[in-house]
Structure 1
Amino acid sequence: MRLLVTGATGKVGQAFLPAFLSNPRFAEWNVVALCNNRSLEPGPRISVVKGSVADPQIVGKALEGVTHVLHLAAVKETPDQAIDVALKGLYLLLEGFSRSAAKQQFMLLSGDCVVGHIFHGYSAPITEQSPRRAYRGVYALTKVLEETMVEQFGIQEGLNWTTLRAPWIMEKDDFRYAMEVGPDQFGGPPWSAMMGADDLDALRKNRAIPAMRDGRDAYLKRSFLHVDDLVNAMIAALDNPAAYGELFNVAMDQPVDYGALAGILEASGDRQRRDIPTPFHSNWLDNSKARMVLGWQPEIDVEGLVERAWSYRRAGNDPRIIWYPG
């Protein structure tokens, strides 16, 4: 078997490859990594194709002899690159792979931006049958189109496809920096958009814990997932006939409650919460289908996210990397 991985040098790709290569189920498999801006060192079971996923010749070369594709490559709010990677690149991969006699499964990593996560409200947990409702911006739009394109290739070409839809993915100390109010904040929304400069300055001086409240004045609930749990879901879905033609939400069993999170952080030190009103919606990405069909279960809950993020210490050769803006 031969697995093509795009985005192999990104956050998810770097976590996936060691787990995949060390898994006995895939001991006879080889990997082709399609790399563009960053690259990997080739190894006994890894070969590298260098170039853009939007280049037909590069994609054709990368697909030679490939039985499975794992498409992780993504960019955020950069429209020219997003169109190339998310639309042209994905089309080239799907078109080339569908014509291959070796094809077995195409797997896409998607995100809960497809359902608008905190930007749109839902009256019930968000399942795979919930309507796609992207928030504003090219990234969410292209993810909706990606999911649709993959499904349509299944209908038109009989392609075995699988889509995993993940929420905000955490690794290392990401979760800690998502709760920071200083210049090192990871992700959004930027606190400067939530409050005036004086309030933000006071928040920073007091090292307060930002506890967002939703549009109904309850503490905001948002889905997260640790990258290790995502990798386990990918391993469970790969080469699994039960996953063919299926979309799966892969998220923590419960969303993170910002009030409960603030309580955990208050109890662990001398910091105090600061409630921040927002217009956002509390939502719950339901993972029941992945648990039942794939036999997958996330292992890391909110306490685990906190423990891992606050205990993580970076070595000198392990700088913080923001894989994409936003």
Structure 2
Amino acid sequence: MRLLVTGLTGKVGASFLPAFRADERFAGWQVRAICNNRVVDDPDVEVVRASIADAGAMRSAMEGVTHVLHLASVKETPQLAMDVGVKGMFNLLEAFRQSGTPRQFMLISGDCTVGHIMHPYQEPITELSPLRPYPGSYALTKALEEAMLETCRVQYGINTCCLRAPWIMEKDDFRHALSFRAQFGGPPWTDLLSEADVARYAELDAVPLLRDRKGAPLRRNFIHVSDLVSAILAALDNPAAEGQLFNIAMNAPVDYAEIAEHLASTRGVPVVDIATPFHSNWLDNAKARLLLGWRPLVDFVELVERAWTYQRAPDDPRIVWYPG
């Protein structure tokens, strides 16, 4: 078997590769990576240096490939959105279906396609919920990718699988997501607060207790990268995943009041109450738990503890390749 991976140098890809190699089910598989701006430094990975927007390069790269794991994406970078999210996805699908060896094409998508905290839902968000992307090029391209994947499955009968993940956390990401200093993710605090308030809360090392549009503590969906990787491995080459879309999230959304209470009680962190225009939503993962036998291991307490106790080594600088 030969697995073609895009985005192997990113957050998910870097965690996926060692877990993939440690799984006995994939012993003897070969890995080929499409690299453009950053290159995988691994002698056991065959590197193809090309842009996925290059149709000819994708046809060549797909030779002998049985499985595709498409991780590559761009965030709010409109000038690249069409190249990566539309042309790139189309080129990969076209090359895969015509390769002569196609077995499974897996896409990693995001809850931006259903609007995460930007749109209200009166019930849990399931795989049957309609696409409701929020404004912006990232959500647009992810919605188009999901639609293209399903359309290609219907048109040509190829085996596809889509894993839809919320905000992916690793290392100290979650601590920075709650920081008023070096903020990770958005929208910027200055969209909700004055610059003076942001500076004051940063000086206090406070954490936010965000409230949704109704005034209740905001509930937002997250997933630790290790749990997303375990879901990818559970779905890879699994007949139960054929033609399926799965929500891959924690068993319950993170409640900002519970986070604030935990940090205040365990670390004495000051808490500030912040009103937002956002909606509390619940990304339901029951289908993945049922069909794949997958279980997320990182709950909100573990998410906090991992982020607050993580110590960066000198050769492990914090690099944010995109805002959130």
- TM-score, L = length of structure 2: 0.98
Q: Does 1:167 align with 2:166?
A: yes
Q: How many residues are treated as equivalent by the alignment?
A: 324
* CA–CA separation in structure 2 for the residues paired with 1:40 and 1:164: 23
Which residue of the partner structure matches residue 132 of structure 1?
131
Q: Does 1:258 align with 2:237?
A: no
Asked if 1 retains the 8 angstrom alpha-carbon contact of 2:186 and 2:323, the reply is no
* CA–CA separation in structure 1 for the residues paired with 2:97 and 2:266: 53
Which residue of the partner structure matches residue 187 of structure 1?
185
* CA–CA separation in structure 2 for the residues paired with 1:128 and 1:231: 19
One-letter code aligned to 1:305: L
Which residue of the partner structure matches residue 229 of structure 2?
231
Which residue of the partner structure matches residue 79 of structure 1?
78
Q: Does 1:9 align with 2:5?
A: no
Runs of 4+ residues deviating >3 angstroms: none
Which residue of the partner structure matches residue 275 of structure 1?
273
* CA–CA separation in structure 1 for the residues paired with 2:269 and 2:105: 46
Asked if 2 retains the 8 angstrom alpha-carbon contact of 1:171 and 1:226, the reply is yes
One-letter code aligned to 1:124: E
Which residue of the partner structure matches residue 116 of structure 1?
115
* CA–CA separation in structure 2 for the residues paired with 1:319 and 1:287: 33
Q: Does 1:249 align with 2:255?
A: no
One-letter code aligned to 1:155: V
Which residue of the partner structure matches residue 219 of structure 1?
217
The SS at the match of 1:89 is helix
The SS at the match of 1:119 is coil
Q: Deviations over 1:280-302 (max 9, x none)?
A: 00000000000000000000000
One-letter code aligned to 2:19: A
One-letter code aligned to 2:12: V
Asked if 2 retains the 8 angstrom alpha-carbon contact of 1:223 and 1:255, the reply is yes
2:199 to 198, 201, 210: 201
One-letter code aligned to 2:246: F
Which residue of the partner structure matches residue 92 of structure 2?
93
Structure 2 residues without counterparts, runs of 5 or longer: none
Question: What's the offset of the Cα at 1:272?
Answer: 1.8
Range 98-107 or range 266-275, more displaced: 266-275
* CA–CA separation in structure 1 for the residues paired with 2:205 and 2:41: 42
Q: Deviations over 1:114-154 (max 9, x none)?
A: 00000001000000001110100010011000000000000
Q: Deviations over 1:238-287 (max 9, x none)?
A: 00011010000000000000011000110122322111000100000000
* CA–CA separation in structure 2 for the residues paired with 1:292 and 1:172: 29
Question: What's the offset of the Cα at 1:198?
Answer: 2.4
One-letter code aligned to 1:102: T
* CA–CA separation in structure 2 for the residues paired with 1:147 and 1:22: 29
Structure 1 residues without counterparts, runs of 5 or longer: none
Which residue of the partner structure matches residue 289 of structure 1?
287
Which residue of the partner structure matches residue 320 of structure 1?
318
* CA–CA separation in structure 2 for the residues paired with 1:281 and 1:190: 17
Question: What's the offset of the Cα at 1:13?
Answer: 0.4
Q: Deviations over 1:20-62 (max 9, x none)?
A: 0121100010000100000012423x21100101011221121
Which residue of the partner structure matches residue 47 of structure 1?
46
Report the aligned-residue RMSD: 0.9
* CA–CA separation in structure 2 for the residues paired with 1:114 and 1:106: 19
Asked if 2 retains the 8 angstrom alpha-carbon contact of 1:49 and 1:61, the reply is no
Asked if 2 retains the 8 angstrom alpha-carbon contact of 1:11 and 1:323, the reply is no
Asked if 2 retains the 8 angstrom alpha-carbon contact of 1:242 and 1:293, the reply is yes
Which residue of the partner structure matches residue 21 of structure 1?
21
Range 78-87 or range 120-129, more displaced: 78-87
The SS at the match of 2:151 is helix
The SS at the match of 1:83 is helix
Asked if 2 retains the 8 angstrom alpha-carbon contact of 1:76 and 1:138, the reply is yes
Counting aligned pairs with the same residue, the percent is: 58
Which residue of the partner structure matches residue 311 of structure 1?
309
* CA–CA separation in structure 1 for the residues paired with 2:175 and 2:199: 19
* CA–CA separation in structure 2 for the residues paired with 1:42 and 1:322: 22
Question: What's the offset of the Cα at 1:77?
Answer: 0.9
